[in-house]
A and B are shown apart, each in its own frame.
Chain A
Amino acid sequence: MDISLQKVEYRYAAGSPFEKKAIEDISFTIPSGQCVAIIGHTGSGKSTLLLHLNALLKPTSGSVVIGDRTVKAGRKEKDLKPIRQKVGIVFQFPEQQLFEENVMKDICYGPMNFGVSEEEAKKRARYWIEQVGLSQEILEDSPFDLSGGQMRRVAIAGVLAMEPEVLVLDEPTAGLDPRGRKEIMDMFYQLHKKRNLTLILVTHSMEDAAEYADQVVVLNKGRKVHEGTPRDLFADAERLAEWGLGVPEVVRFQRLLEEKTGRSLPGVCLSIDELAAAWNEQSGGPAV
């Protein structure tokens, strides 16, 4: 299922003395099965854009095509549920959305809202709780008795159990320790690869964009300023700095190395291993 934005604009409090334009003239397409990162400085309009991806906000101008549905400015939309089932969103600090008396019920909440039977929902809960790295025993516990990291995983399982075709992640690892961060991101990436799940990663982590994304969309002051592969994007550190963004550590290191040694490598490396291999090749294979 593709998602396509066409000249999307959104104004908060439209028509009041407090009107504020959050995003404007944004067009791009996210093809099915891709991993796309949407990056930008805080206040660049990322969060507003994200809400358009499953019709939680309707553009004040332009339109958003989600699969076979079109959400167009100024038109009344009915029954947005099918869209929301197909596009799941894991919000920032999703543990704050937990509310049920036990984990099982909380995970079942989403699926059952979309008409899944209780029996099937429970089956999914038992499956997804393990996928997010927790044991089934936890299903009986109150979500409020869990640790912060466990709550995060339960909330993610609750979204995954809706079995969406597109998964939108808003800073999914914020506040986690390094191990937790890596585990969660690897899990999403596996799902993306194995199930052909479309991933949309809304982040200010350049590291994550470099490591996981096929395509990167950059927002600045509510406008789209760049769209392309991470490799193209990170080749131009000056432009990124203009948008208030940095480059991944590995890219910064490569530049430092190139400046110091006066040798340039063929292209921008996006991972430590890639850079190590490229450097090794440049210096003529392993030293004897």
Chain B
Amino acid sequence: MMEKMIFGRYIPADSLVHRMDPRAKLVFVFAFIAIIFLADNVWAYALAAIFTLASIWLSGITVRFLISGLKPVMILIAFTFVLQLFFAREGQVILDLGLFTIYEEGVRQALMISTQFLLLVFMTSLLTLTTTPISITDGLESLLNPLKKIRFPAHELALMMSIALRFIPTLMDETDKIMKAQMARGSDMSSGPVKDRIKAVVPLMIPLFVNAFKRAEDLATAMEVRGYRGGEGRTKYRLLQWHLRDTLALFSLVLLAGLLGSLRIWL
């Protein structure tokens, strides 16, 4: 299941969105999340949807790819839709099934909430699909830099994140390997009573921890012999460059916020 998900993955390409400054993309996505809550009517949602589709189009990623890669999330959205459909009990009755009654308000609520959910998932996926994890880290570090004045450990946080990102695939492989090794020794993690399954986790977790500590120790040595002594006096290999397109992207967001706000007042 996990290996089929595209959530949090990066798809290399050379689109306008790929080339954007990660700081711009981060601000963009966080601002979008806030702005989308301004929408409270069908027209506003339609506008936000068009805006999202345009962003996807600019990234060169197809909607079909997004949907197929986000199947588990889609199921969740569908589930939310159905729940909303049955729970709202206002407005006109549209359909009376005896046991369940569907109201007009229910349809409206369900549509709006699942659209909102869908747009959020699309936009955040777009961020991770078009930005390498390391760029996201760099962007975050740069955005958090002003906080260094109040002794916020922005460099350490970014380094931690980048090392975590670097080791996630390694540790996933290792988990898989150790799981298979224990299964070959007759461990059974996928069937039997819950108590046994929990017990079967021990032979997996202990080697994982032992190996992770060993890796951490080796890595610390490797970093030290290459002269790592903390963030002080370090230069950066990756420079972030802000272009006109980044300013324009944020400007388009201001426009969207304005429009959504106006629709909220007018309708």
A binds B: yes
Q: How far is the CB of B12 from chain A (nearest CB, A)?
A: 13
Question: Does B180 lie at the interface of the complex (its beta carbon under 8 Å from any beta carbon of A)?
Answer: yes
Contacts of B174 in A (CB 8 A): 96
Contacts of A144 in B (CB 8 A): 210
Q: Which bracket fits the contact residues of B? A: 20 to 34
Q: How far is the CB of A207 from chain B (nearest CB, A)?
A: 26
Q: Which of A13, A18, A94, A162 contacts B181 (CB 8 A)?
A: A94
The answer to whether A113 and B187 have CB atoms under 8 Å apart is yes
Question: Does A284 lie at the interface of the complex (its beta carbon under 8 Å from any beta carbon of B)?
Answer: no
The answer to whether A91 and B181 have CB atoms under 8 Å apart is yes
The 0/1 profile, CB within 8 Å of A marked 1, for residues 171-215 of chain B is 000100110111111111000000000000011001100110000
Q: Known contacts A91-B177, A110-B185; can you find 5 more A-B pairs with CB under 8 A?
A: A16-B68, A16-B69, A85-B186, A97-B207, A144-B210
- Write the residues of chain A forming the contact surface with B, with a CB cutoff of 8 angstroms: 12-13, 15-18, 51, 54, 56, 81, 84-85, 88-89, 91, 94, 96-99, 109-110, 113-114, 144, 158-159, 162
The answer to whether A56 and B180 have CB atoms under 8 Å apart is yes
Given A56-B183, A84-B183, A18:B3 Cβ within 8 A: yes
Question: Does B149 lie at the interface of the complex (its beta carbon under 8 Å from any beta carbon of A)?
Answer: no
Cβ contacts A to B, 13 pairs, < 8 Å: A12-B3, A16-B3, A17-B68, A18-B3, A51-B180, A56-B183, A56-B184, A84-B185, A84-B186, A96-B181, A109-B187, A113-B188, A159-B184
Find the B residue at minimum CB distance from A12: B3
The answer to whether A91 and B69 have CB atoms under 8 Å apart is no
A158 to B188 CA separation, bound complex (whole angstroms): 17
A56 to B183 CA separation, bound complex (whole angstroms): 8
A109 to B178 CA separation, bound complex (whole angstroms): 14
- How many A-B residue pairs lie within 8 Å, measured between CB atoms? 70
A144 to B207 CA separation, bound complex (whole angstroms): 10
A99 to B183 CA separation, bound complex (whole angstroms): 14
Contacts of B6 in A (CB 8 A): 17
Contacts of B180 in A (CB 8 A): 51, 56, 91
Contacts of A54 in B (CB 8 A): 184
User: Which 10 residue pairs spanning A and B have beta carbons closest together?
Assistant: A113-B186, A16-B4, A99-B206, A110-B185, A97-B181, A13-B3, A89-B184, A99-B203, A114-B186, A91-B181
Q: Which of A17, A96, A159 contacts B185 (CB 8 A)?
A: A159
Contacts of A97 in B (CB 8 A): 178, 181-182, 185, 203, 207
- Write the residues of chain B forming the contact surface with A, with a CB cutoff of 8 angstroms: 3-4, 6, 65, 68-69, 174, 177-178, 180-188, 202-203, 206-207, 210-211
A12 to B3 CA separation, bound complex (whole angstroms): 9
Q: How far is the CB of B2 from chain A (nearest CB, A)?
A: 9
A109 to B181 CA separation, bound complex (whole angstroms): 12
Contacts of B183 in A (CB 8 A): 56, 84
Contacts of B188 in A (CB 8 A): 81, 113
Contacts of A89 in B (CB 8 A): 181, 184
Given A16-B69, A109-B203, A81:B4 Cβ within 8 A: no
A12 to B184 CA separation, bound complex (whole angstroms): 20
Q: How far is the CB of A72 from chain B (nearest CB, A)?
A: 19
Q: How far is the CB of A109 from chain B (nearest CB, A)?
A: 6
Find the B residue at minimum CB distance from A113: B186
Q: How far is the CB of A77 from chain B (nearest CB, A)?
A: 11
Contacts of A109 in B (CB 8 A): 185-187, 203
Find the A residue at minimum CB distance from B187: A113
Find the B residue at minimum CB distance from A158: B185
